[in-house]
């Protein structure tokens, strides 16, 4: 199956440094064969948070080559589903060409966690696990939906 044949799911957050990359890495791992998974931000931070990279590496997902992108990079593309993972991105989210679905699943921003690196990593792990549960369930639903067609 070619990449263009797969529906594009765009995961949006404000900074595109933590939550959207956690979700992109997880969803791409569990449903990349049936979905073209991307992420972007309304105000990109310009980097992917090192603790987000570390938290996913612990579960065998490598996002070390990801980059922080602006949602404007996707404005001319056909985006079937937009999923916002923070309140600010939900408010700033435009309608994309070909958009059929929109979901808003807010998660705590682990980038603002206080404490030592070890304490902050614990917050990243908790948010990662919440995102993993939500996006794995979504992937199963999409897979069931594609089988039904």
CATH superfamily of 3-139: Response regulator (3.40.50.2300)
Per-residue pLDDT, 93: 66
Task: Please choose, from the candidates 78, 81, 116, 83, the residue with its C-alpha nearest in 3D space to the C-alpha of residue 98.
Answer: 78
Per-residue pLDDT, 148: 78
Going along the chain, which residue ranges are E strands? 8-13, 36-41, 81-84, 101-104
Per-residue pLDDT, 57: 98
In degrees rounded to 5, what are phi and psi of residue 109? -85, 105
Walk across the sheet containing 36-41 and list its strands: 36-41, 8-13, 81-84, 101-104
Determine which helix (DSSP H) or strand (DSSP E) holds 83, and give its type and residue range. strand 81-84
Structure token pair of residue 45: 């931070």
Per-residue pLDDT, 80: 93
Per-residue pLDDT, 99: 75
Domain ranges for the chain: 3-139
Per-residue pLDDT, 100: 84
Catalytic residue numbers, as ranges: 13, 86, 93
pLDDT tens track, the chain, 149 positions: 344 489 999 999 988 999 999 999 999 999 999 999 999 998 999 999 999 999 999 999 999 999 999 999 998 889 999 999 987 666 666 667 677 888 999 999 999 999 999 999 999 999 999 999 999 999 999 988 877 77
Query: Which residues does residue 81 pair with via DSSP β-bridges, in sequence order?
Result: 9, 101
The DSSP symbol for 32 reads T
Per-residue pLDDT, 97: 67
Structure token pair of residue 71: 């949602």
Structure token pair of residue 70: 């602006």
Per-residue pLDDT, 145: 81
Per-residue pLDDT, 89: 60
How many CB atoms neighbour CB 4 within 10 A? 8
From the CA atom positions of the chain, what is the Rg in Å? 15
Q: What is the pTM of this model?
A: 0.91
Structure token pair of residue 123: 């917050």
The DSSP symbol for 36 reads E
């Amino acid at each position: 199956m070619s990449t263009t044949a797969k529906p594009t799911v765009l995961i949006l957050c404000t900074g595109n440094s933590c939550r959207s990359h956690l979700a992109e890495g997880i969803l791409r791992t569990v449903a990349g064969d049936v979905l073209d998974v991307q992420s972007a931000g309304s105000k990109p931070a310009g980097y992917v948070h090192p603790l987000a990279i570390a938290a996913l590496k612990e579960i065998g997902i490598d996002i070390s080559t990801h980059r922080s992108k602006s949602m404007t990079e996707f404005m001319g593309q056909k985006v079937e589903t937009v999923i916002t993972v923070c309140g600010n991105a939900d408010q700033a989210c435009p309608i994309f060409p070909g958009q059929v679905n929109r979901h808003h699943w807010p998660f705590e921003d682990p980038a603002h966690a206080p404490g030592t690196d070890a304490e902050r990593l614990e917050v990243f792990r908790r948010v990662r696990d919440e995102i993993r549960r939500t996006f794995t369930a979504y992937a199963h639903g999409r897979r069931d939906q594609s089988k039904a067609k």
